[in-house]
Amino acid sequence: MKCSALRRKEIDSIINLNNKFKNSNNNSDNPPFPAKKHIFVNPHNIRFSGGPLSKVAICSKGVYIFVTPNGYTYVGSSINLFVRVNSYFYYSILKSGTRAVLVHFLKNGFDGVVLKLYIMDPNSSIDQVLKMEQYFLDKYFNQPLNLNKDNIASGSGKHYPMSEKAKQRLRIQRGISFYVYDVTTASIVYFFESKTFAQLHMNIDHRTLNDCLNNGSLYLGQFILSLEIITEMQSYSESILSLIKFKKLINFSLAQ
């Protein structure tokens, strides 16, 4: 969605609401690491690149918290908050998802939803991001309207066998390995160890690759490229294709 798709009046209204909630509950938070707090009302309506959400969330590390109008909460973390938050707004993912947060958003939509972002220092380690997430999970998990089903940061591994393996890779923090998700099936389809290898086998220009990784743009209108596991999508190792089958999938999409 481009900025021109929204009326200026509507954007101003959203910004005014954001300003209203900007400093709310600041005194109730005492996270383990310094973080800049941002609050957005109706983030679904400002998810376009270049909008208020993207300006603070692109390539930002930290924690995100959804708060629904009827009081439900959901806590997560990311090394690129913009890409991660946007993954919740794809209808195909909501429709095929089984996690409570996806089921809730599919049924109730995003009107009136508040998104809280806690932006951490860009040099924060993955362990620090997870510790920050754990702080907020501990804070919200025992509330009756909590949508998190795991109380361990980044997933317990019980539902997502790749989670521990993913965290080990992420700790290396090379910034070159990434995961490929197919939004049509809401599942992981491949893992690349490097951008160079991906460019060779995906027929993708480096500028397009960086745009997809940093700005959350869909590759070929079908694939999310993410530097981290997206736990709300199917992340089972069985869904990962062989390189030959993955290339066939990419070539088929290119031909459409």
What is the rounded distance in angstroms from the CA atom of residue 240 to the CA atom of residue 48? 29
Residue type, 42: N
pTM of the model: 0.77
Q: Are 37 and 118 in contact (CB under 8 A)?
A: yes
Q: Please give the pLDDT value at position 172.
A: 45
The four Cα atoms 93, 97, 102, 108 give a dihedral, to 10 degrees, of 80
Residue range 70-79, pLDDT digits in tens: 999 999 999 9
The residues, any chain, with a CB within 8 Å of residue 134's CB and separated by 6 or more, are: 152, 153
Strand-pairing partners, residue 38, are 117
Task: Dig out the tokens for 146 from the structure.
Answer: 């909590």
What is the rounded distance in angstroms from the CA atom of residue 152 to the CA atom of residue 112? 28
What is the rounded distance in angstroms from the CA atom of residue 197 to the CA atom of residue 8? 42
Q: Enumerate long-range contacts of 169-174, CB under 8 Å, 24 or more apart.
A: 170/79, 170/126, 170/227, 170/228, 171/125, 171/126, 171/127, 173/125, 173/126
Residue range 92-126, pLDDT digits in tens: 889 887 789 999 999 999 999 999 999 999 999 98
What is the rounded distance in angstroms from the CA atom of residue 133 to the CA atom of residue 138? 9
Question: How far from the centroid of its chain's Cα atoms is residue 100's Cα?
Answer: 16
Q: Residue 68, by phi and psi: left (phi above 0), alpha (psi -120 to 50) or beta?
A: beta
Q: Please give the pLDDT value at position 49.
A: 81
Q: Please give the pLDDT value at position 143.
A: 86
Q: Is the pLDDT of residue 2 over 90?
A: no
DSSP state of 183: T
